[in-house]
Structure 1
Amino acid sequence: MKAKEIRALARENLKQIPKKIYMSMGLLLVVANIIPSVVNQVTDSKSGVGVNIIFFLLEIAAVLLTANGYIFFDRWRNKIQKGGEEPNAWCGLTGQHIARLAVYGVIEALIIVSVTLAIVAVIVGLVISQVPVAVSIILLILLVVLLVWIELRLTYVVYVIDDDVRTGQKRSVWAEIGASWKLTKGRVWKLLCLKLSFLGWYILTAFTLGILGIWLMPYYNLAIAETYEQSKEDKY
């Protein structure tokens, strides 16, 4: 399906969720992503172990709440299309979820940091003129593309983790990452186009100081969840 069709399905699914439910979760997701940035700005002029610990904990909370949002709306999509009970607001924050998400978070962070350090090294080489400009620019573009590509291939990991928890599968996190890798094979461009199609909405959200995000986050999460379901159907 094209991005336009997926967004249309997501909007139809959103209409089936009570407004007070999806807007409450949307507000939680907006707050979860804003608070770390606000705290970082407030404490920018300060230093100390305590401040760093608080910021680190808020970042972890934001990541976990964001993952919970993905799982929550994916389960709502399942309920709408296949029936069943309404998902609990904290369905993605069980002990099993948190344990697996924590391991995945560390692995993802190591991958991203490694590529980011390589990007920084290229930029430094460009600044101090140790590497030809043309070579540095090509390397920089390739590394940025690699980083985006990796992030897109990891799009479904959270959903795979939730499926394993619900079905009682005991796969390792590496196996779950591998499952996401397989499901996104041949779909990277479509995922990129879908995510970019929300760019205008995110710009509008910035102009509304995040208020529009209360509606946008559920809409976006349902769209990504729809692509996950379609990927599984195509695989089987």
Structure 2
Amino acid sequence: MKAEEIRARARENLKQIPKKTYMPMGLLLVVANLVPNIVDQATDSKSGAGADVVFFVLEVAAALLSANGYIFFDRWRGKLQEGEEEPNAWCGLTGRHIGRLFIYGVIEALIIGTVTVAIAAVVVGSAIPQVPLAVSLALLVLLLALLVWIELRLSFVVYVIDDDIQSGRQRSVWAEIGAGWKLTKGRCWKLLCLNLSFFGWFLLAVCTLGILGIWLYPYYDLALAEAYELSRENKY
């Protein structure tokens, strides 16, 4: 199934969700993603552990709220397509969710952070005359491609965690990461195309100071939830 078809399904699902339900969640996701960046820029000229702690707390809160959005709209997809129970707004922030999501976030941050540090080292190294520019550029491209690939392979982990919690399945977060990783095998290109198909929309959201995001985040989350469900059914 192509990105256009998944987006069409997501739009159809979004039409069936009351605006009074999805718009507040969309606004919350916009705020969650904007506030850490605003605070970071506002405190950029200041140094000290206090500013770093505030930024870290906001980043953690943003990650948890984003995960809640993924779960919320995935459950709405289940309600619309499979007649499941209507979810409450905080279904992804139960005690069982927060613990697993926090552990997953730490693991993801360590993986992504390691690659990011390597990218920064290459950028710094490219300014050293002894390092050929062509070598630095090639290594930089490879590391950036690796970073994108890892992010794509982790696309479904939040959904796997929620499925385990709903079904009562007991396994480690690491096993859940492995399950999500396995589910994206052979689907990275399709997931990349799906994400790129939203690039223009997110650019417009930036131009509207995030206002468009009130509609865009629910739309994107429903599309990714659709991709997850189709992958589980081996139809994607």
Q: How does 1:135-146 map to 2 (within 5 A)?
A: 135-146=135-146
Q: Tell me the matched-pair count.
A: 235
**What is the SS of the residue equivalent to 1:177?**
helix
Separation in 2, partners of 1:55, 1:140:
28
Q: Corresponding residue for 1:7?
A: 7
Separation in 1, partners of 2:197, 2:8:
12
Moved more, 27-36 or 113-122: 113-122
Structure 2 length normalisation: TM-score?
Answer: 0.97
The question of 1:233 aligning with 2:233 is answered yes
Deviation per residue, 1:37-57 (Å, 9 max, x gap): 111122222222222222111
Moved more, 143-152 or 122-131: 122-131
Structure 1 length normalisation: TM-score?
Answer: 0.97
Q: Corresponding residue for 1:188?
A: 188
Q: Corresponding residue for 2:55?
A: 55
Letter in 2 for 1:105: G
Moved more, 14-23 or 119-128: 119-128
**Aligned structure 1 segments of 4 or more residues deviating by more than 4 angstroms:** none
Q: How far off its partner does 1:84 sit?
A: 2.4
Identity of aligned residues (%): 73
Q: How does 1:190-229 map to 2 (within 5 A)?
A: 190-229=190-229
Q: How far off its partner does 1:28 sit?
A: 0.3
Separation in 1, partners of 2:123, 2:42:
29
Separation in 2, partners of 1:2, 1:37:
33
Q: How far off its partner does 1:162 sit?
A: 0.3
Letter in 2 for 1:122: V
Separation in 2, partners of 1:95, 1:119:
36
Letter in 1 for 2:104: Y
Q: How far off its partner does 1:120 sit?
A: 1.5
**What is the SS of the residue equivalent to 1:127?**
coil
Separation in 2, partners of 1:62, 1:123:
28
Q: Corresponding residue for 1:77?
A: 77
Separation in 1, partners of 2:91, 2:105:
18
What are structure 2's unaligned runs of at least 5 residues? Answer: none
Q: Corresponding residue for 1:99?
A: 99
**What is the SS of the residue equivalent to 2:126?**
helix
Separation in 2, partners of 1:129, 1:108:
34
The question of 1:86 aligning with 2:90 is answered no
Separation in 2, partners of 1:55, 1:136:
32
Separation in 2, partners of 1:49, 1:115:
25
Letter in 1 for 2:158: V
The root-mean-square deviation of aligned C-alpha atoms, in Å, is: 1.0
Q: Corresponding residue for 1:40?
A: 40
Q: Corresponding residue for 1:19?
A: 19
Letter in 2 for 1:232: R
Deviation per residue, 1:39-86 (Å, 9 max, x gap): 112222222222222211111100000000000000000000000221
Deviation per residue, 1:155-183 (Å, 9 max, x gap): 00000000001111111111111111111
Deviation per residue, 1:96-150 (Å, 9 max, x gap): 1111111111111111111111112222221112322111111111110001000
Separation in 1, partners of 2:31, 2:160:
25
